[in-house]
Amino acid sequence: MTPYIAIAFAVVLSACAQAPSDVSRSGIFDPYERQNRKVHRFNRNLDKALVKPASTVYGTILPTEIQDSVAHFSENLSLPGQVINNVLQGDVAGAGNNTARFLVNTVLGIGGMFDVASDFGMPIEKTGFGETLHVWGAKEGAYTELPFFGPSTQRDTAGIIVDIVLDPVALALPRPEKYITTGAYVAARFGQRHKYTATVDSILYESADSYAQARTLYLQNRRYELSGKDDETDLEAYDDPYDDF
């Protein structure tokens, strides 16, 4: 899929997001709940059988310092793509900050394994193509739970596709080096799953309805993140374990 096709596909997909004609009183538009619940069961079973055990081994065997270095390395690899999204959103300050952060951590942080930039007052300006579509006026659309990725919306699903297909680091690296980004991402997610195991377990295995709980937390957190750019919602912010996991 070429870059232009990927972007065009995402824009069309987000533009086709259904208008929330049947939004519940809680502000949730979930017309595909039956299918979403099936995917949620798959994700829950996958977590129980593979992700949680693997993250426990990962978090137990590796020292915290190494886990932090892997997380920093993965985050640093994501910065070029975030800079592109900063530019597409017209966020010049964010683009400058993330560019400087990438250069500092790559050079002084040994390829990004150490977060030197934060010590210099350059925190990461997290963003993605889902937020770019939001800035461009695309509606949230229906709630969607994706295999492996978890809670999302039609707009953010389109954003995920573009972020993966057009990842500048993966596109620039030859095989097999390009798979470093995927490996670092997966390893970092194992570290996050281990770090927030109590929170994730409380949602997936201790709540009366894990699907509804995860859906509410995701939507409230995501809408709060974007609330500075429009008045799509005024829901209160909640800590969302899926923000890192």
CB 67 within 8 A of CB 153: no
Q: How far is 152 from 17, CA to CA, in rounded Å?
A: 13
CB atoms within 10 A of CB 160: 17
pLDDT grade, residue 23 (50/70/90)? low
pLDDT at 44: 97
Mean pLDDT of 119-135: 95
Q: Which residues contact 33 (CB under 8 A, 6 or more apart)?
A: none
Given a cut of 70, whether residue 96 has pLDDT beyond it is: yes
Residue 24 reports pLDDT greater than 80: no
Poorest-pLDDT segment among 19-23, 39-43, 73-77 = 19-23
Query: Tens digits of per-residue pLDDT, 145-192?
Result: 999 999 999 999 999 999 999 999 988 988 888 888 899 999 999 999
Mean pLDDT of 102-119: 96
Rounded Cα distance, 54 and 71, in Å: 16
Taking the model in full, what pTM does it have?
0.82
Q: Residue 233 — very low, low, confident or very high, per pLDDT cuts 50/70/90?
A: very low
Residue 85 has pLDDT above 70, yes or no: yes
What is the rounded distance in angstroms from the CA atom of residue 149 to the CA atom of residue 242?
Answer: 9
Point out the least confidently predicted range of 125-139, 153-167, 178-192, 225-239.
225-239
- Per-residue pLDDT of 190-204, as tens digits, reads 999 999 999 999 999
Q: How confident is the model at residue 245 (pLDDT cuts 50, 70, 90)?
A: very low
User: Cβ atoms within 10 A of the Cβ of 158, count?
Assistant: 28
Q: What CA–CA distance (Å, rounded) separates 62 from 55?
A: 10
